[in-house]
Structure 1
């Protein structure tokens, strides 16, 4: 989990100029999940959204087939991802809790994202869709997914 300096979201160029994993790990995970779902490298994946309970931060989007998940870290067991997010936010904010929702809206649609308090693709300083495509192309998806499935 990344905890950027307070206020960085108010500086689009600084936000953009962070390394890919930081960019997609804090503020653009929905873009990465949306691009993944445009042409899924693996079958049977869908997007899920961690929706923190009222008064808490910690929203996060990822894709999953129910067993493994993919986000800015790469592939891992879905249960491990959820535990990682829960433990990170709970350490920082006691009482943190969230609901897991299946994404039922287009993840790259600005109006749908804005209605849920997320930036649309054209609201970033650069082109996050192209950046996500390049990020996804660097991964050997079948091999990494197999490694995640084999982990316990």
Structure 2
């Protein structure tokens, strides 16, 4: 989650011209999650929504395979991502809490489908100043081939050579 000092979500031009990390941390995380799931569909990841408790703000969507997670920070563990998100939100909003909700991939790029889930209302890639999907794909490119990193990490955890 990223909490901007000023409200840029209401201004499509200012929103679009923010740095990539800010753009995908605050308002376009669902597009980045979809781009990841599309590119790495064979790795067992799914979308997860950090849904703030009633009365709080700070939604965020990331992808996870139950162990690893990816969002605008890059690849980490799900435990680390959640620890950071909860600590940061509680620093801004004492008492902040949230639940995790698994989301179907198609919801990430459909405003209509997202609105069928209580409390969720996502912007489609084409609802930004420009189509956000190519930007998400280019941002994802900056992390290199995550498939190799994930497969190497999984193999090292199950290797018999460590016995």
Deviation at 1:110, TM superposition (A): 2.5
- How many residue pairs match? The answer is 150
Give the aligned partner of residue 17 of structure 1: 17
Deviation at 1:109, TM superposition (A): 1.4
Structure 2 residue 54 is the aligned partner of structure 1 residue 50: no
Q: Quick one: distance in 2 between partners of 1:123 and 1:43?
A: 29
Matches within 5 A, 1:98-113: 98-104=98-104, 106=106, 107-113=108-114
Q: Which ranges of structure 2 fall in alignment gaps of 5 or more residues?
A: 157-163
Conserved? CA contact 1:69–1:81, under 8 Å: yes
Conserved? CA contact 1:49–1:101, under 8 Å: yes
Summarize deviations over 1:93-116 as a string: whole Å, max 9, x none: 111000001113511113123552
> 2:124 pairs with 93, 105, 120, which one?
120
Change (3 A) 1:147 1:73: farther
Q: Quick one: distance in 1 between partners of 2:48 and 2:79?
A: 13
Change (3 A) 1:62 1:31: same
Summarize deviations over 1:55-103 as a string: whole Å, max 9, x none: 1011110111111100000001110000100000011111100000111
Deviation at 1:42, TM superposition (A): 5.9
Q: CA RMSD in A?
A: 2.1
Once superposed, which parts of structure 1, at least 4 consecutive aligned residues long, lie more than 3 Å away? 142-150
> 2:142 pairs with 124, 132, 138, which one?
138
Change (3 A) 1:85 1:129: same
Q: Quick one: distance in 2 between partners of 1:11 and 1:64?
A: 31
Change (3 A) 1:25 1:42: farther
The structure with the largest alpha-carbon Rg is: 2
Conserved? CA contact 2:58–2:89, under 8 Å: yes
